[in-house]
Structure 1
Amino acid sequence: MAYSPKKLNGETVYRNEVFQTGLMSQLLDGIYDGEMSIGELLGHGNFGVGTFNGLDGEMIVLDGNCYQMRHDGTVVPAGLDQQTPFAVVMNFVPTIRRGLPNNIIRKSASQVLDDFTVSKNYMYALKIVGDFEWVRTRTVQKQTKPYPKMVEATENDDIVQFDNVRGTIVGFRTPIYEQGIGVPGCHAHFIDDDHEKGGHVIDFKLDNAYVEICLGTDLRLHLPLTSEFSGANLSPEDLADQITKAEKHA
């Protein structure tokens, strides 16, 4: 079905579907296996982030290619038959492109990006491209069964810093009301231009970069049909605290 563009707060916007398999609250409960292959996932989007079965590193989807970022910060192409318990992708068609101030860190960049969006009530796919004075990342290690809860699985992750690097940050800004479905705020991964190093973004300092933004208006959820998922605790009382600890927000 074709949708006509709309005017929203002075900006022309289009409907774009965000596809997600699995839930953040599922990962928090230690449910790290899903049914969707990377080949299937790429049929739903050319841009995104996620992880792999067993929490085996971080995932980045860029320009229709999927990469696996490992615990030591190295990157390898993902196999199409690998599976994911959690990933968020979309077909990236940006309508906003802006230069970003030099010498700002993640917290300041987040405030700048807020000024570029039409409302906090939608999802946004973000692509920051350029030179970074440094990028600090971490990547989860593959877990073995019985799987620990995510807070335990990520508590000893090493921080890896890349200095004077050119690359791309792929991220999603998610509204607070999606807490537990996704990661509220900005969930972002980094990959360098040579596709050799990257990880889950903890912080960065820009040198010379720009951002492209794609509004997400429709969310399509794919939930795993597994006994583990059906028995998961998806609404713990300390959900917000668990997300903050697991994601290690700077």
Structure 2
Amino acid sequence: MSTTGVVTRHEVFQTSLMSALLDGVYEDEMTIGELLGHGGFGIGTFNALDGELLVLGGVAYQLRGDGTVTRAALDERTPYSVVTNFVPHIHAEFPADVTRTQASVFIDTLLPSQNYMYALRITGEFSSVRTRTVVKQEKPYRPMVEATDDDEIREVDDVRGTIVGFRTPLYEQGISVPGCHVHFIDDDRTRGGHVLDFELRHGEVELCLGTDLQLRLPLTSDFQSADLSPEDLQRQLDKTESHA
């Protein structure tokens, strides 16, 4: 493991709330072009849940339910995204043949504190990656726990690629997704999605500590009337993130 040993202020930018997405707030005026002005690394989704968003190296990719991966147009819009400028200060090699659960435990041992957000990037050779991808919704929009019933589930084997995402503290429940929320894209930029599980044959993790959260809330009527504190928030998060 290597680390700079220095913690400096670093901003994470987020548009809207995870609890708003859960309540069916699937539209906003934030464009991909504007989003990229806040960071070249991150994840999210598109208006109407038209695929998963992955931002890597300053490029935004649209990972759709039909299995296609394309560069997102700058005038596409996002109802929920989290981005930063990725400056890793922690780096480590994973043990061989780790599952997602084992990788998550390993990552937690690297953290100087559990109380910050961390952007994380995992690169390497995967024995398998299991993903799901949201499918474009039509109005009237259903809550996300219902919309994700239509998700496309895919598994790819023997693939090199990158996992992009964030490790978020529990106190951000409803603002973001507590724990590790990550998306995957292969090296050829032809396959990817929201990660459900993986087995990493060998690879590395890099972590960028975030101390400042810039949160932008929508001005839409749907957001203004959304139920952002449902009693079953944890259940909804579990279902939409793990597809359990």
TM-score of the aligned structures, taking structure 1 as reference length = 0.94
* Partner residue of 1:210 out of 195, 204, 213: 204
Partner of 1:16: 10
Matches within 5 A, 1:77-226: 77-226=71-220
Query: Is residue 72–residue 160 contact of structure 1 (8 Å, CA) maintained in 2?
Result: no
Aligned mates of 1:239, 1:75 — CA distance in 2: 31
How many aligned residue pairs are there? 241
Q: CA deviation at 1:128?
A: 0.2
User: Aligned pair in 2 of structure 1 residues 128, 65: CA closer, same or farther (>3 Å)?
Assistant: same
Unaligned runs of 5+ in 1: 1-9
CA RMSD of aligned residues (A): 1.1
SS in structure 2 at match of 1:36: coil
Cα shift readout 1:51-80 (whole Å, capped 9, x = no counterpart): 000011100000000000011332111000
Cα shift readout 1:147-189 (whole Å, capped 9, x = no counterpart): 0000000023232001100000001000000000000011000
Query: Is residue 68–residue 77 contact of structure 1 (8 Å, CA) maintained in 2?
Result: yes
SS in structure 2 at match of 1:12: coil
SS in structure 2 at match of 1:126: strand
Unaligned runs of 5+ in 2: none
User: Aligned pair in 2 of structure 1 residues 36, 58: CA closer, same or farther (>3 Å)?
Assistant: same
Partner of 2:54: 60
Aligned mates of 2:150, 2:70 — CA distance in 1: 23
Partner of 2:35: 41
Residue 242 (1) aligns with residue 230 (2): no
Aligned mates of 2:125, 2:214 — CA distance in 1: 34
Deviating above 3 A after TM superposition, structure 1's stretches of 4 or more consecutive aligned residues are none
Q: CA deviation at 1:249?
A: 6.3
Aligned mates of 2:5, 2:239 — CA distance in 1: 36
**Given residue 26 of structure 2, which amino acid in structure 1 is its aligned partner?**
Y
Aligned mates of 2:154, 2:243 — CA distance in 1: 15
